A = this chain, B = another copy of it.
Amino acid sequence: MKLREVKKIRKRSVEFLKKAKISTTTSEVEKVEIADFGLNDIKHIGLELIVYENNDRYCAKELILFPRQICPEHRHPPIDDRNIGKQETFRCRWGDVYLYVEGTAEKNPKALIPRKYRPYFTVWNEVVLHPGQQYTIAPNTLHWFQAGEKGAIVSEFSSTSIDEKDLFTDPNIKRTPVYE
């Protein structure tokens, strides 16, 4: 991503945080992580994040999703004998989130996926999260989510995040953002 675009998306992220009445510091705002997953199509597939804390025991982030933006399907695999993979709780703070996990597929899902990405979305057990609702994802299980029409803010509470270990269904994805 060009740094100019990164700055533009950071600015938009802050606007969404304001809509949700979530306070942040200037230094957090300047470091909002823009994850385009290497697909260069952040309108459809992308995620904006503020990492509040990530230590060797727990992690807390605020996830910002623009309208209909999708965090693509992935899982958090076991890391070593002491870490069975990241477990995470998504708590919807603002907007609506359509979360999909392993299990019985929803026949009429609320999510909308551009046709070209369809092969890389394989779990369709639907969990709708309105503000104040949350769901916990077991380690090493597939999941993905999309914001509703107005976008969404999601608090993520979890064990330690090691994002570079995430395994995505779409082989074209690169998790670590590259800012030029």
Which residues does A use to contact B, with CB under 8 Å? Answer: 20-25, 28, 52-53, 55, 57-60, 87, 89, 91-94, 130-134, 136, 155, 157-159
Contacts and interface: CB of A to CB of B under 8 A. Distances in A.
A53 B89 contact: yes
Nearest to A20: B21
A57 B131 contact: no
A89 B60 CA distance: 9
A22, A23, A91, A155 — most chain B CB neighbours (10 Å): A23
Given A23-B93, A59-B58, A157-B58, A134 B52 contact: yes
Given A58-B58, A60-B157, A131-B23, A52 B89 contact: yes
A93 to B, nearest CB: 7
Copies in the complex: 2
Given A53-B89, A59-B58, A91-B52, A24 B157 contact: no
Contacts of A92: 23
Contact of A134 (B53, B94, B131, B157): B53
Nearest to A158: B58
Contacts of A134: 52-53
A66 to B, nearest CB: 20
Contacts of A91: 52, 60
A53, A87, A92, A157 — most chain B CB neighbours (10 Å): A157
Given A21-B21, A52-B134, A93-B23, A159 B58 contact: yes
A71 to B, nearest CB: 19
Contacts of A24: 132
